[in-house]
Structures are given as C-alpha cells and as structure tokens.
Structure 1
Amino acid sequence: MKPHPDDFSEFYSRENITLDIRLIEIGYRYFRPHFRVGTCLELGPATGYMTRLLVEDFPHVTAVEGAADLLSQIPHFENLTKVHALFEEFTPRTRFNTIMMNHVLEHIEEPIPLLRRIRDWLADDGVLILGVPNAKSFHRLAAVRMGLLETEYSLNERDRELGHFRVYDLNQLREDALEAGYAVEAEGGTFLKFLANSQMESTMNDSMLEAYHELGLDFVENCAEVFLALTTAK
C-alpha cells in the first residue's frame, strides 16, 4: 500500500522537531531574496512552522497539506487558506508567483511527474523554491566513515521514520528539476551540520547555529540542506 502523509504525522510534533524548526527559522532568510511579489503556495507545511513566516511576506498564502492532523495545528491567519489534499489531487484555481516546497520532495515516490504538475501552477514570472536534506552533509559523510551508513545516500533510521524515499544531493536535485522542465535561477545551501540533532540540541546555542548557517555559504555542497530557485524553462 502506498504510504499516506497521515502515516507520519505523529513525528511532526514540536517536541520531535524543535531543532529542525529553529534551523528553518534561521535558514528562511536565504529563501527570501528569491521570492516574487504576489501570491504564495506552500506545499507540505506540516504544522506551519514556515507558514508563520510566509504570511508576513505575502498578501495571501495557500497551504496544501496531505495530513489532516498536521493541517489542523496550523494557526488561523487572515491571509491564509488551508487545503487538505494530496499534491497529486490538488488543482489550484489560480497560478502563484512563489511556490515553496521545502522538505517534501524526498517524501515523493515519483518526484518528476509531480514537479511537472507543479510547473503548471507557476505564474509566468513565478519561482519554485525547492529545498531538501542533503546526502553530502558533513554529518552523513562522517556516518559513512564510522560505518553507520553504507553510503551517504542510504536511508538512516530518521529517514525511514519520516517516510523518505531517497536522500538528494545538489546534483541529483538539479537533474530532477531540469528533467521536469525547469530552469535553475539560483542554488544554495543552509547550515553546516557535523552532529546528530540530539547532540546539537545539548551543545549548540543560537549564536553557534547562526555561525554554522553563515559558514554554509562557503560550503554549499556539504550543507545540511540544499535548495534551488526554479523558473519555468522557456
């Protein structure tokens, strides 16, 4: 049976992903320069940790989430429309200037057909911000050296718990985007990660998190997260 977002919704409680949320709040600044003025579509908002930021930057945000329990945890905002639907079943009534899809593509069994579908939801001058965890993050490379992972692309326990099908690197993400008919406007990475989340929570304060985000600008291919800003290929 094909997995459903509801199967993994319990993991996304604030207790489980407190550090992830903090990293996304810090890393959000690297997405903002690529936003287009106008409407925004967020795909896979989970409990709305990025939604809270997007509603401050856009006059209207549409958030589409396949897990009803997660969608119900997103607060109400005047300029937010929440939609309970699988991406494969969602059909928007309008096109969007900015589409945000962060930490989603690794959950999709067949990513390229979905990326092609999303391309039709972009306005002519629109941008898709596509972010994923990075296989070549230093913490995964270290896990290979320690014998904890067979390769950096192997799924670890957390990947399986989250329902991931694969772990991307920047090259693979770029290849899928190009095959789906996009042009790459920009690419980047956020945060240098050397330790597991549990270790970071007990050793790193906000100043350290900020510093390792800034260092990521010099080591994009080895950041914990990588992203592309995509437009429709002409």
Structure 2
Amino acid sequence: MVRYRRQLVLNRLAEYAPKVIVEVGCGSEMQAAAYAAQGGSWESWTVVEPSQEFSDIARRNELPNFNVVQGFFEDVVDEMPTDPDFILCSGLLHEVPDADRLLSSVRERMGRNTVLHVNVPNARSMHRLLARSMGLILDLKSISARNKSLQQPRVYDLEDLTDQMEGHGLTIFKQGGILVKPFTHKQMEPLPEMLGREVMDGLFRLGEEMPEIASEIYVEARLR
C-alpha cells in the first residue's frame, strides 16, 4: 500500500512539476528523495513533521533546497511559504485529532494557484465491502481494530472528504483511487510474491479506474 501510495504521489508531482512544495508529515521514507531520484526538481521543499525521530531522518537527507520544520502544521503555519505551488497531505488527515483545524491552517497558506493533494483510506474499499458482506462489520465506517491500533479516529469515503474540503472553501477538481485491495493488510502480505508484481500493478491501475472501491482515495483542490 505504501509503495503504491508513494507512486501515485510521484505521478501527481510529475504532472504538475511544482517549484515550491510543502509536505505535511513525512514519515521515515522521504517522498522528496524518491521524486529527485526520478528526475524531479524544485526551488523549495518544506517538510513539517512533529516527530523528533522523523524530523531527524528528514534532516539527514542531502537534498537541495530541502527544509525541515519540526512541529504540528497548525502550530507553525506562520513559518510556511505563502502561496506554494503544491501542498502534500498524504496518509494523514484521517489520523490527526482535529482534521478541520489542520485544513483551516493549510487553507491560510494557499494562493489562487496552489494545488492541495490529500489522500486517505477509503471507507468503501473492496475489502471493507467484503467484510460487511461476511458479517464482520455492520457499518462501512466502523473503526476497526487496526484503525484503533494506529490511532486513526475516522474513516472517509469520497463524499465525506469532498464535503469537508468544500466546507473550508476549497473546490475539488480531481479525485481518484489507489489500489484495489480485496483483503486485509495481513491477508495481502504474501500476495505480491505469490501472484507477481504484474497482478499488483494491475490492482493499482484498477484503483485508478474504479476509485469508489479502491483501498485509498485522493482528491486535489484549489481555493474556491
């Protein structure tokens, strides 16, 4: 899932070729490093990361014009570039305690041409639909044991995500899906080796074709 989420973001970056980029949260593997490895470049890339561990990892990268600000975006918003070309919020909105506060802070820094990319797990993914059909869950938006273990307080579908973004004065102009995942993460683990990369790549493309049942969804928005 991480591999294909990162690939989707790389595809989106390659399409826009933004010069000024803000990334909200970075984790342990730098999206900027992967983008640079495929020939991408920028004038300024700023990562905002609250974790000391991940901030330290990011600072060890020897990437040009790459800045790390430690803290929650909402608390350091004044240190962010104004009117960046691209704001990346990948795999995060469903995890933060107050998603509206984060979106409000992000909107503060957006200019008329800024593209905001957000991706989150999909409440209506194929594996959740299957779980409901099997009687394992009653509601597609139920918080699973995995959600709880990862401190994920909410699950979005495209309608929920669209409503929340529009509630902050944003207009969605593109949306899509990332990877159709028929089974749980644990059940999927052996499949790449068993079925081959071609099958997994096919499931990735199927997510693009059928975002409504993809494992994760994404939207891109500008100021209204």
Q: Structure 2-normalised TM-score?
A: 0.87
The worse-fitting range, judged by mean Cα deviation, of 25-34 and 116-125 is 25-34
Distance 1:59 1:165, change over 3 A: same
Deviations 1:44-78 (A, max 9, x none): 11113423234534332111111111222234122
Q: Is this contact kept in 1: 2:90–2:119, CA < 8 A?
A: yes
Distance 1:194 1:112, change over 3 A: same
Matches within 5 A, 1:1-234: 20-32=1-13, 35=16, 37-55=18-36, 56-74=40-58, 75-76=60-61, 77-90=63-76, 91-95=78-82, 96-204=84-192, 205-233=196-224
Q: Is this contact kept in 2: 1:186–1:228, CA < 8 A?
A: yes
Partners of 2:29 and 2:203 in 1: how far apart? Answer: 24
Q: Secondary structure at the match of 1:63?
A: strand
Partners of 1:190 and 1:93 in 2: how far apart? Answer: 29
Partners of 2:72 and 2:6 in 1: how far apart? Answer: 25
Q: Is this contact kept in 2: 1:36–1:127, CA < 8 A?
A: no
Partners of 2:79 and 2:206 in 1: how far apart? Answer: 38
Q: Is this contact kept in 2: 1:24–1:50, CA < 8 A?
A: no
Partners of 1:71 and 1:146 in 2: how far apart? Answer: 42
Matched letter for residue 66 of structure 1: P
Partners of 2:208 and 2:64 in 1: how far apart? Answer: 35
Q: Secondary structure at the match of 1:123?
A: coil
Q: Secondary structure at the match of 1:105?
A: coil
Question: How many matched pairs?
Answer: 214
Q: Gaps (5+ residues) in structure 2?
A: none
Distance 1:228 1:34, change over 3 A: farther
User: Please, what is the CA RMSD of the aligned residues?
Assistant: 1.9
Give the share of equivalent positions with the same residue, in percent.
23
Q: Secondary structure at the match of 2:75?
A: coil
Distance 1:112 1:30, change over 3 A: same
